[in-house]
Structure 1
Amino acid sequence: MVISVITTAEVESPRLIPGKPQITLPHTDTSNGKAVPIEHRSDSNVDFGAEVYGIDLNNFTDADFNFIHDALHRHKLLVFKEQPQMLKPQQQYRLTASFDPDEKTGGFAHGKDPWLTSHNGVDIYGIPKRPAIPVQPQVHILGRGHLPEGHYGFPPGFQVQGINHEEFHLPPHIHVDERERGASRFYQWHFDGSLYNIPPPRVGCLLAVRTPKGPDVTVRWDDGTGTEMTMAPGATAMVAGSRALALLDNDTRNLVMNSRIEYAPHAFVWMSTAHSTRLGHLLETEGLEKSLDQLPAWEQSKICIYPMVWTNPVTGEKSLQVHGQGAFKLYLKDAPNGEERIVDDLKEVRAFMHKLMRPALSPENIYAHPHEEQDVILWYNRALWHSITEFPKSYGERIMHQCNVAASDHPVR
């Protein structure tokens, strides 16, 4: 789920299989699915999320998918409970890809994975923080720690490298002793997508294979406000773009409704030498980004320029969907036919992004999902922001299977 800043996967267009296979689902007239809205804390402003019962994702039907499709667009996050078995990678891909029948490549949303290793004559692609499962290479393994023995053909003792805020965040970092006692950070607030050439996925999907065991952690904002939030170790934190939009003052809301963001070419290569803010929502303006002539070859026609506000095609709800770290240039106007002002000074760009994002990044607006083994979560990637959170190494492994697939379309207002 995290978009690593140490990746080469954005360089090429999607290719992991030679064309997307035709997806057909078993037919049934009705679904036994039931969606139960998640009960949030009494002091929470979170209004999204539902638990789903009655659907076995290893054997879902066309009627089940119709139920899932409608429920996801209305609840934005679904948690599938009581799964009789671990979700198979092939079924995880089938579920995710079914949301976009017009997408033809079947490719991973960050493009071509590099070769990583081989075992028993099988090539394994990906990067150490995100290896792909050979039998279904759009499904990647995220987390930290050793994989179960014999896990989908990976070599014995194979270990997934976890994220570490010391590699990316502005110092000072949290001392290792404090981290082992449960001090944590949000690593990177984002929606999934390469931000260059490839349309961002419509949905994301995570299967919890192994989860860390230990007391709750305390996530620190470390931005001078003293803000903290307690949550389960290894939780995925989420915020609704609709809530972020609602929190803006009227003038700013009107502005974002008509404005666009240009993202940097090969954005994650571009930012790989820079520092994130400690809150994980922006880059610090230190002049440490790679210069454009240091990036892999890029084309102006493949630059992503997206509206700041995206529309849910089922409900019509508007969401502020922005990636603060990848933002390179702003096109601001306060009316559909108004004069457009271009902002290309990175310090000014980031000040504006902070104004948009920081109000929503408060504990009352954040849902920290506590993963339980064998559960599957599915989220609408065009309406939610999310971030991974850190946890002590002594709590054990966090092994997750993630699937997101390049979309057939770029977002529109």
Structure 2
Amino acid sequence: MPEQTSIDFIPLEDQPFGAQVRLPSYTNNPAELNDEDFQKLKEGLMTYSVLVVPNQENLSPDSQHSLTVRFDPTTSTGYGHDPKLFHSSNSILAKDGRSVPTRPEVQMVGNGSFEAGHEGMKAFTLEHPTHFTFHKDVLNKEEVARGQTRFYRWHIDAALYALAPPVVTTLLGLIVPNKNEKQRIVYEDTKEEKEVVKGATAFASGRIAFELLSDKDKEFALNHTVVYAPHPYIFINNCKATSDGLTIESEEPPKEVPLDNLPQWEESKVKKLPLVWTNPVTKKPHLQVHGCCVYQLINTKTGEVVAELEDARKIVHKLMRPAISPQHIYCHGWNTGDLCIFHNRGVIHSVTGEFEPHEQRLMHQCNVASGEDPVLLQH
């Protein structure tokens, strides 16, 4: 077989987007790509949205961090969230990860108990996010016994306050479920089903989301801006999500933390981001919104508020729902050593899977706050 001298991409078979990466023969570490091959990797990511690099079980946290940082020259290299807020007991993200001691920008996520020794850690426990703690209406015991699961929370990796959303997230599978273990997602509104490998990470394309909109909704999306709540993950800490994980159920009395009771915040640091972001390589528009953290929608040109909290959630749900239909999403079933690199400004993603407390799953996740907010170019 001839030596592979340059990076190559193999589109994922029977999937709406995504590709597997074949590294050049001079390295098995994607962080060590030469400038020419890294540029191809970056362009490939913007083109395919999700890249899978197999056999990376020996990738160190330092290498994962340096690779992640390399995608964004504007980054300060710091984690995509304020660590104090991310791990705050008043945040819905509090249980979502533990920092690698020697490289805190890399988070350990997963499930189960682990002995001391992993990356300098003492014995530690991880808890897989479950819809039972986050959705307003949950699956019953019989549905779970039949192998049902849910999309936990569709989201963009981003603090959505003060810090600009990361360009890229890297996710490395170290201990993963057996790929023969399958679970099912049942769409309550259409009764469609999607079979997924247990613990699969689901991805939905912002490009496809925009293309699926009616002309009227495209016009709306192109001309409106999302205002995110200050400290959004604390703002919704007491709230529950819709059963598809796309947004939050608005309840009476309201469960959101009053703005006056949030940690100190500044109006200038509240994130106001376009509903549609432009892909820097393909120039395609991507409908990109974190539906659980939405606070208002405003007219981009006038600054007029066109939808407050409850209506803003309903509008965002309507816009995004078609993109998470079974035929439009890619659900990555993990192999040990898979490194998923995804364009965090081009897709939204969600955890899936129901795990027992004793079951082990271990992953390393890294994203870094950008120095610049995403933009919508003129179309």
Q: Same fold (TM over 0.5)?
A: yes
Does 2:341 align with 1:378?
Answer: yes
Q: Deviations over 1:352-400 (max 9, x none)?
A: 1122011112101111011111110100110101000023428932211
Q: Displacement of 1:114 after TM fit? A: 7.4
Q: 1:199, 1:410 within 8 Å by CA — same for their partners in 2?
A: yes
Q: Distance in 2 between matches of 1:178 and 1:389?
A: 15
| Secondary structure of 2:40's aligned partner | helix
Q: Aligned letter for 2:227?
A: E
CA contact (8 A) 2:112 2:357 kept: no
1:144 aligns with 111
Equivalent residue for 2:49?
Answer: 76
| Aligned pairs for 1:102-141 within 5 A | 102-104=74-76, 106-113=77-84, 127-141=94-108
Unaligned runs of 5+ in 1: 1-29, 117-125
**Inter-partner Cα distance in structure 2 for 1:92 and 1:401:** 9
- Does 1:244 find its partner at 2:209? yes
The structure 1 residue matched to 2:22, chosen from 38, 53, 77, is 53
CA distance in 1, matches of 2:112, 2:71: 31
Which of residues 154, 162, 165 is equivalent to 2:128? Answer: 162
Q: Is the 8 A contact 1:31 1:67 kept in 2?
A: no
- The yes-or-no answer on 1:211 pairing with 2:182 is no
Q: Is the 8 A contact 2:209 2:322 kept in 1?
A: yes
Counterpart of 1:262 in 2: which secondary structure? Answer: strand
Deviations 1:118-156 (A, max 9, x none): xxxxxxxx9543100011110001111123651111113
CA deviation after TM superposition for structure 1 residue 58, in Å: 6.1
Structure 2 runs not aligned, ≥5 long: 88-92
The question of 1:33 aligning with 2:7 is answered yes
Amino acid at match of 1:310: W
Q: CA deviation at 1:212?
A: 1.4
Deviation at 1:180, TM superposition (A): 4.4
Contact 1:58 1:88 in 2 (8 A): no
Residue 178 of structure 1 and its aligned partner are, at CA, apart by 3.5
The change in CA–CA distance for 1:350 and 1:127 in structure 2 (over 3 A counts) is closer
1:181–1:392 CA contact under 8 A, matched in 2: no
| AA partner of residue 38 (structure 2) | F
**Distance change in 2, residues 1:79/1:293 (3 Å):** same
Counterparts of 1:217 and 1:273, CA distance in 2: 28
Task: Give me the whole-angstrom Cα distance separating, in 2, the residues matched to 1:159 and 1:135.
Answer: 18
1:96 corresponds, among 50, 68, 75, to: 68
**Within 5 A, what are the aligned runs for 1:6-405?**
32-40=6-14, 46=16, 48-55=17-24, 56-57=28-29, 60-63=32-35, 64-83=37-56, 85-104=57-76, 106-113=77-84, 127-147=94-114, 149-156=116-123, 158-171=124-137, 173-176=138-141, 178-213=143-178, 214-221=180-187, 223-286=188-251, 287-332=254-299, 341-393=304-356, 396-405=359-368
Residue 78 of structure 2 aligns to which amino acid in structure 1? G
In 1, the alpha carbon distance for the partners of 2:316 and 2:85 equals 32
RMSD of Structure 2 on Structure 1 (CA): 2.1
How much does 1:103 deviate? 1.9
- Whichever residue aligns with residue 11 of structure 2, its letter is P
Question: Aligned equivalents of 1:52 and 1:342: distance in 2?
Answer: 44
- 1:393 match: secondary structure: coil
Q: Matched residue of 2:291: which SS? A: coil
